[in-house]
Amino acid sequence: MFPSVTTYAQTAITCADSSLRPGFERLDRDEARIKAASPVFGAAWSTGVYLCYDWPFDGERATPQVNADGAAPVLVVGGTGDPTTPYPGARHMARALGDGVGVLLTAEEEGHGTYPQNRCVTETVDQYLRTGRTPAPGTVCRGSMS
């Protein structure tokens, strides 16, 4: 079975965005750390550390600049129990976008992805997409996945 086009696209985008090209010693340490951190999923997810190790082109940067001072508000949704995109990353992104730009909507929910499963998140995101209005800072949607 061949990898999907999506897999190739993800590799190309990830490696073009990042200039990080860790050597095998670092990769092996990272793989072991991931497997130790998650005995259930670590083996499956740890292979991702090898994604760009031999990519033949330079990437743009090690740490992308995401500050968007002066931009319209950007709604960032983070689930407190999301194992794939951990909540601290959403908090960091909202802060990094800048004051008055990044607005964090917290979903107290387990699992990856809360839209459209969580009614509160869905209504809040839909309102933002229709009107550009963000919820009040500190808004929390309690678990209501159906």
Q: Residue 11 burial by CB count (10 A; 0-12/13-18/19+): exposed, middle or buried?
A: middle
Residue 49 confidence (pLDDT): 67
Distance CA 92, CA 113 (A): 18
Find out whether 135 and 126 touch, Cβ atoms under 8 Å.
no
**3-state SS class at 14:** helix
**Per the structure block, which two tokens stand in for 17?**
């965005």
Residue 3 confidence (pLDDT): 65
Find out whether 97 and 71 touch, Cβ atoms under 8 Å.
yes
**Which residues, listed in sequence order, are joined to residue 61 by a DSSP beta bridge?**
18
Residue 57 confidence (pLDDT): 85
* The model scores a pTM over 0.75: no
Split the chain (146 residues) into runs of 10 and give each run's mean pLDDT.
73 83 81 85 75 81 79 96 89 93 95 90 97 96 75
Residue 113 confidence (pLDDT): 85
- Beta strands 74-81 and 140-142: pairing type? unpaired
Residue 43 confidence (pLDDT): 80
